[in-house]
Amino acid sequence: MSISPINPANSIAPLANGGGGNSGTPTPPDPADGSYFEPMASPSIQSALNDEFSGDVIDPMWTLFDPGEVSTYTIENTGLVAAVSTSTGNNLHGQIQPLPAGDFTVETYVGQGIVSKAANIYFFTGLGLFEDDTDESQAYTQCLVTGHNIEPSVMTHIWSDYNSSSNGGFTAFDEALTNIFLRIRRNGTTYYFDYSFDGIGWKQWLTVADLGFVPTFFGVAGCYGDGIGVTQTCLWSFFRYVDEDLGINAGIGGRRIGFYSE
Amino acid sequence: MPRYNPFVPPLNPNVLNDEFTTDLSDWTLYNHGDNTVAQIVNNRLQLSQSNSDGELVGGIIKELPVGDFTIETYVSASMLYSDVSGHYAAFGMMVLENETDTGRFLSWDIVLPFSVAFPYLIADKYTAYNANNPGARVLETLIWRDINGLFMRMRREGTNYYGDISLKGAGWKQMWVTTIPYVATQMGLFIDFVDYVPTNYVEVPFFRYTDSSLSVNESIGGQRIN
């Protein structure tokens, strides 16, 4: 796992005793040290399955899922980016890794680079649970969806394979929405789907008792339905996992970090 | 390049400020409905309520000095979805006549439905912890739905009380001005989850006070950081 430390050039120093979602009970920092709560900050203790997408190349723990061969994944200074320009129908793509058995919480922060909202075009960026790592895998995704004639939305989709999907849940937002925190939790056999605009408070908006399959892989997921030759991009700022259901009131990341004042 | 971050504490914090890093010993629990919990979780204040039957405002309060003031906070909610009409979460700040269950108070809060309906901003004049006065409502306005949190503040200038909001903690919009028939002597943060049984939460990274009424282009906290 090649996760880089926070770039010293940014002069933001993580506190040795700063809190973190899965770091147990941290010792609170002294307010006099000049710290503040930063919801985007990485957890103090990183799971081996986490990725802050801060290296130069995609970590080898990820496996490209792209049966339709439509996407190009790179690490940019904004995170993991998937570019797609042409897609006939829906082509689910992603970067996946084995999902451990048991309860879990997985979080990401997504954005989209959108230049076209032509008829019948839909653009997905989010998280995916996959039956396996084959091209025929079933999948269940929760994505920020931007498209023709709909407001930006968080939607879930059930994929019988990479190019056949049906709608699950749907909740719409304002046209100005371009980024959102997304999270999936599993408790026993029940799956919970949350979103957040600030990474501090979360809304559990959907509960699914049965996905229709048992996922053994998970990761980031995207789709550019009926792409027409205009390159559009999915962005993931991080991928964070913890082996428990955190519930609605805790995040994996976010902690107090120190700073150097101007 | 230095950049402004509104969450960063001020360089010279007032003794009444709280960045919620240690404990709540400077506060009094306002819990007349006996359904509110206040604790520090992951270096934030977390207010929670469950088994809320009607309006039961609860939170934390502390003494408000006489004279002009500005208080600022950021509040964000963690909530379960409900498609039942009438289930909503109100959370924000307040200034109170006193700490008793019949003490009147002026509230300034976000009201998020548990469904996906649009949220509101509401300022109310309560006559007790469980009784607002709809006829005296100061402000009720629909807001952008894509929020679960907001920078909020209240100010007192002479006998006038003001309510402001900001999406980014810099650049404030004054939303209302009113007077109240008492002098507020307590200030605090509150939660009110209406008619909803499961536990839900409000997360608060800071509470900041200054002894003057700031203009809409000033903020108590936030600094430029490298």
* Assembly ipTM: 0.83
Mean pLDDT, chain B, whole residue set: 91
At residue A2, does pLDDT exceed 60?
A: no
Nearest to A174 among B43, B145, B203 (CB): B145
- What is the C-alpha to C-alpha distance for residues B150 and A201, in angstroms, rounded to an integer? 11
Q: What is the DSSP letter of A26?
A: P
**Is B15 an 8 Å CB contact of chain A?**
no
Q: Is the pLDDT of residue A229 over 80?
A: no
Give the lowest-confidence range in A189-203, B27-41, B177-191, B195-209. Answer: B195-209
Residue A100's pLDDT is 98
Smallest Cα distance from B176 to chain A, Å:
25
B201 touches chain A (CB under 8 A): yes
- What is the mean predicted confidence (pLDDT) over B97-105? 97
Question: Identity (one letter) of the amino acid at B65?
Answer: P
Checking if the pLDDT of A114 tops 90, the result is no
How far apart CA A185 and CA A157 sit, in angstroms, is 16
Is residue B191 within 8 Å of B47, Cβ to Cβ? yes
**A68-90: average pLDDT:** 92
**pLDDT tens, A29-69?**
444 456 788 888 888 888 999 999 998 899 999 999 999 99
pLDDT of residue B113: 80
Please report residues of B whose CB lies closer than 8 A to that of A26: 42-43
- Residue A252 predicted with pLDDT over 90: no
User: Mean per-residue pLDDT for A22-32?
Assistant: 43
- Average pLDDT of span B54-79: 95
Residue A7's pLDDT band (cuts 50, 70, 90): very low
Q: What are phi and psi of B204, to 5 degrees?
A: -135, 110
Alpha-carbon gap, residue A55 to B3, rounded angstroms:
24
Contact A9, A247 (CB under 8 A): no
Say what the pLDDT of residue A260 is: 57
pLDDT tens-digit readout, A163-196: 999 999 888 888 778 899 999 999 999 999 999 9
Q: Give the mean model confidence (pLDDT) for residues B116-122.
A: 83
Q: Report the range of poorest mean pLDDT among A218-222, A248-252, B58-62, B162-166.
A: A248-252
Instruction: Please report where in the chains the tokens 């979805």 appear, as a residue.
Output: B81
Strands (E), A131-178: 139-147, 150-161, 164-172
Q: Considering only CB atoms, which chain B residues are within 8 Å of A30?
A: 21
Distance CA A43, CA A63 (A): 24
Q: How far apart are CA A46 and CA B205, in angstroms?
A: 23
pLDDT of A255 reads: 80
- Measure CB to CB from residue A200 to each of B144, B149, B226 and give the nearest one: B149
Window 201-240 of A: residues touching B by CB (8 A cutoff) are: 201-206
Give the residue from chain B lying closest to A25, CA to CA. B42
Is A31 touching B (CB cutoff 8 A)? Answer: yes
| Alpha-carbon gap, residue B216 to A3, rounded angstroms | 42
- Chain B residue numbers with beta carbons less than 8 Å from the beta carbon of A176 are 144, 146
- In a 3-state reduction of DSSP, which class is residue B210? strand
- Report DSSP state, residue A9: G
- For residue A117, report the phi and psi dihedrals to the nearest 5 degrees: -130, 45
B-interface mutation test, from A183, A248, A255, A257, most B Cβ less than 10 A away: A248
Strand ranges (E), chain B: 3-5, 28-30, 36-41, 44-49, 58-63, 69-80, 88-96, 105-113, 120-128, 131-132, 139-142, 149-157, 160-166, 173-178, 186-194, 200-204, 207-210, 223-225
CB contact under 8 A, B78 and A202: yes
Give the mean pLDDT of chain A.
84
Contact B108, B94 (CB under 8 A): yes
**Alpha-carbon distance B220 to B70, whole Å?**
8
Mean pLDDT for B117-141 is 91
Report pLDDT for A109. Answer: 96
Chain A CB contacts of B191 below 8 Å = none
Q: Indicate yes or no: CB of B43 within 8 angstroms of CB of A256.
A: yes
A42 touches chain B (CB under 8 A): no
Find the CB nearest A203 among B22, B148, B206: B148
A148 at interface of B, judged by CB pairs closer than 8 A: no
CB contact under 8 A, A29 and B205: no
As a whole-number percent, the residues of chain B with pLDDT over 90 amount to 65
Would the CB atoms of A173 and B146 count as touching at under 8 Å? yes
Dihedral through CA B137, CA B138, CA B143, CA B148, nearest 10?
Answer: -80
Query: How are the residues of chain B apportioned to helix, strand and coil, as percentages rounded to the nearest 5?
Result: 0, 50, 50
Task: Determine, for residues A38 and B11 on separate chains, whether the beta-carbon distance falls below 8 Å.
Answer: no
The answer to whether residue A181 neighbours chain B at the CB level (below 8 Å) is: no
| Cβ distance of B2 and A204 shorter than 8 Å | no
Q: What is the largest CA-CA distance in chain A?
A: 57
Digit-coded pLDDT (tens) for B68-91:
999 999 999 988 877 777 778 899
